[in-house]
Amino acid sequence: MRSFEDRLIGILKTNSVDFMSTFPCDRIKFLLERVKKEFFHIPLTREEEGVGIAAGIALAGKRPAMFVQSSGIGNMITALLSLTGFYELPLAIFVSQRGIYKEGIAAQIPMGERLPEILKGAGIACSTISTADDVSIMEYKLPGMYKQNKIHAFLLSPAVFETTNTRDLGPWAGLQRDETRQQGMDERINHQYSPKLTRYDILNTIAPHLDSKVIVCNLGIPSKELFEIKHQPSNFYMLGSMGMATPIGLGISLASDKEVVVIDGDGSILMNPGTLATTAHFNPSNLTICAIDNRSYGSTGGQPTLTGSCVDLAMLAKGFGIGNVLKAADKKQLIDAIKKPTENLKFIHALALPGNAKVSNIPLHYLDVKKQVMKFIKK
Ligand SMILES: Cc1ncc(C[n+]2csc(CCOP(=O)(O)OP(=O)(O)O)c2C)c(N)n1
């Protein structure tokens, strides 16, 4: 019996779909590895961007498809309605539907559960793929959808991938396999700044300097690692809303006199880089952004981000107008950077090795986290 992944790839090839834009989700990490090998692959920085790229591909007479997580549909909806749907362009969207089956992350539920209704309200057709046998639905729907220039979302239940999601991709996952990307990386990173620490080591190193500060921590593994290393009532752990760490930190720093440290990630900053411009504009002296750059989406399987090939986050921050930008790749550079007194907003570009520590879910209710943080800020 062929696997679900094999059958889906076969159907896409039969329908001459050749351009795949993807944004990672942990549940489809093995499928994404296959897609990357089999098709022209466009790794995205934000799901919305994929809608625009797909429109361009369709305008050029080719057939695009996207692979995203249910929360990513929230980032796509305006472009889907005012671009793809409006101009009657075809787009197949394969959605890893979270929040409906064995979900460990509470913040995935509001969007994941309501997705069919949201799509219905937006007038976007969708089909539910609950078991591997439901591939026949895609076989049936895809040809007409492309011919009639329609959008169709296929909602893939995590149950479909239960048999394949057993391997560990390892810390270097996508990074190692992509040789051209690896070459680009080697050329760009000079010895002074080659990373020596993992994200966990970085958090461990800065932990003694986080006392009596509000910490806004990026979603996924970073929050779980921080909880294990240094839980304190002033830690705000994100469970969803990728790309919002720096905006949340900016809001707190503008509305209170507390010292705020944002632990952000390269993938999350690339999803919402404009926030660095807003932050630079206000230049709050009580805000430090520690951008942990492991050149990958570490929390969802280690898929490479573009900081491994063409983007330098320190230059990006400078370009947006942040004056106080420090780069750190080892313990000493990191401690010097976090301790450095400043009158201005501080941006630390912390270069990291890929890889996650083996950490458990945070055993706190999210509303208790909110209460503790608010109490601390009010004090
Ligand atoms: C809109 C949206 N798309 C995709 C995801 C899935 N997701 C959760 S964490 C994560 C990776 C974050 O990468 P980065 O900011 O680099 O942090 P790292 O995990 O590498 O420390 C992704 C893609 C999500 N939560 N929300």
CB count within 10 Å of CB 66 equals 24
Is the CB of 303 within 6 Å of ligand 1?
Answer: no
Structural domains in the chain, sorted by start: 4-161 (3.40.50.970), 173-378 (3.40.50.970)
Per-residue pLDDT band at 177 (split at 50, 70, 90) = very low
| Residue-level pLDDT at 168 | 58
Distance from residue 140's CA to the centre of ligand 1 (Å): 32
Instruction: State which ligand 1 atom lies nearest to the alpha carbon of 72.
Output: 1
Q: What pTM, to 2 d.p., does this model score?
A: 0.94
Instruction: State which ligand 1 atom lies nearest to the alpha carbon of 25.
Output: 6
Is the CB of 299 within 6 Å of ligand 1?
Answer: yes
| Residue-level pLDDT at 193 | 84
Tens of pLDDT, residues 88-147:
999 999 999 999 999 999 999 999 999 999 999 999 999 999 999 999 999 999 999 999
Residues 188-223, buried b or exposed e (16+ Cβ, 10 A)? ebeeebebbbbbbbbbbbbeeebeebbbbbbbbbbb
Helix (H, G, I), strand (E, B) or coil at 288: strand
Q: Which amino acid is at 26?
A: D
Instruction: State which ligand 1 atom lies nearest to the alpha carbon of 242.
Output: 26
Distance from residue 36's CA to the centre of ligand 1 (Å): 18
Instruction: State which ligand 1 atom lies nearest to the alpha carbon of 221.
Output: 19
Average pLDDT of the segment spanning 44-69: 98
Query: Closest Cα to atom 20, ligand 1: which residue?
Result: 298
Is the CB of 202 within 6 Å of ligand 1?
Answer: no
Query: Closest Cα to atom 26, ligand 1: which residue?
Result: 242
| Residue-level pLDDT at 63 | 98
> Which pair of structure tokens corresponds to residue 186?
């080697």
| Residue-level pLDDT at 208 | 98
Side-chain-side CA neighbours of residue 97 (13 Å): 24
Distance from residue 60's CA to the centre of ligand 1 (Å): 31
Q: What are the residues whose beta carbons fall under 8 Å from the beta carbon of 262, sequence distance 6 or more?
A: 215, 216, 245, 246, 248, 249, 287, 288, 289, 290
pLDDT over threshold 70, residue 179: no
Instruction: State which ligand 1 atom lies nearest to the alpha carbon of 293.
Output: 16
pLDDT over threshold 60, residue 361: yes
Distance from residue 145's CA to the centre of ligand 1 (Å): 30
Best residue among 47, 299, 316, 361 to mutate for probing ligand 1, ranked by most atoms within 8 Å of CB: 299
Distance from residue 219's CA to the centre of ligand 1 (Å): 7
Tens of pLDDT, residues 251-300:
999 999 999 999 999 999 999 999 999 999 999 999 999 999 999 999 99
pLDDT over threshold 90, residue 83: yes
